Amino acid sequence: MASVSCPNCGATNRDGGRLLARCRQCRAYLAACRYCRFYDLRLMDCTHPARPEELRITDPSESLNCSDFTRVAGAVGRPSLRVLRTGVIAAIVVLAALFAIIGGYQSATSTGPSVLLRTTVSSTSELNFGEGTFDVRVFVRNEADYLARDVQVFVSGPSIVDLSCEWTDPPEAYDEGPGRSVCGWIGNLEPGQIGSVVFHFRPRQPCQIKLTAQVTAANLEGPKRIVIAGEVLP
């Protein structure tokens, strides 16, 4: 049977290859979504191309007995003593720093209610294969009375495997996302300010386009999602 190291506590489980196996020591599921390479912790969702668009998996601790579960690299086998020692030292340093600045942290993060962002998307509806790029432009307006911090735009979805993001406008906004997504960084938006980013995708083949644009911010409660549809004709 497969020997699996628990990513939560490091205990070795000799029969940990089962999808619903629990760690013998801490009882955590060994095949939780957070340990799958298709789960994106920044988006808090599964990015597998076969996932239905309407299905969201917002809890990374879920263990769904999923046939597509693929363990992330480094989750199998016993962790080295050097890795464990480094982790313990890092944890001590982080805890010490946390207790030292906890008062200032609470003050800095008390920003009041969630920021209000209005998002619109324009995209190419039809494109003949080989004649150009499939362009997606995302506009974000801060309609709150205070700063929207660290605004980002993620584009993902089943069709992302048929597209290659060649560049963005502005070019410095491009930040390749994890897994099956691309990210455009807008940054901070003052009250009333509008930011935008254009993704220039090159189709790999004729296909139906189905993507989702998700806008996040450090002080936004949950991502804003907009569906993008189009077609690349032969």
SS3 for 76-129 is ECCCCHHHHHHHHHHHHHHHHHHHHHHHHHHHHCCCCCCCCEEEEEEECCEEEC
Q: Kindly state the average pLDDT of the residues 181-200.
A: 91
Q: Residue 195 has what pLDDT? A: 94
Q: Residue 13 has what pLDDT? A: 87
Instruction: State the Cα–Cα distance between residues 11 and 7, nearest whole angstrom.
Output: 8
Give the number of other CB atoms < 10 A from CB of residue 19. 13
Q: Does residue 83 have a pLDDT over 50?
A: no
Q: Residue 100 has what pLDDT? A: 64
Mean of the per-residue pLDDT values of the chain = 82
Worst-scoring range by mean pLDDT, 77-81, 156-160, 173-177?
A: 77-81
pLDDT band at 189 (very low <50, low <70, confident <90, very high): very high
Cα 72 off chain centre by: 15
Q: Kindly state the average pLDDT of the residues 144-158.
A: 90
Q: Residue 142 has what pLDDT? A: 93
Amino acid at 40: D
Residue (of 183, 179, 136, 137) closest to 161 by Cα position: 179
**pTM attached to this predicted model:** 0.52
* 3 state SS for 28-92: CECCCHHHECCEECCCCEECCCCCCCCCCCCCCCCCCCCCCCCECCCCECCCCHHHHHHHHHHHH
Domain coordinates of the chain in residue numbers?
A: 1-79, 80-110, 117-233
Rg of the chain over all Cα atoms, to the nearest angstrom = 21
Bigger pLDDT: 54 vs 21: 21
pLDDT band at 87 (very low <50, low <70, confident <90, very high): low
Residue (of 161, 116, 171) closest to 141 by Cα position: 116
| Homologous superfamily of the 117-233 domain (CATH) | Immunoglobulins (2.60.40.10)
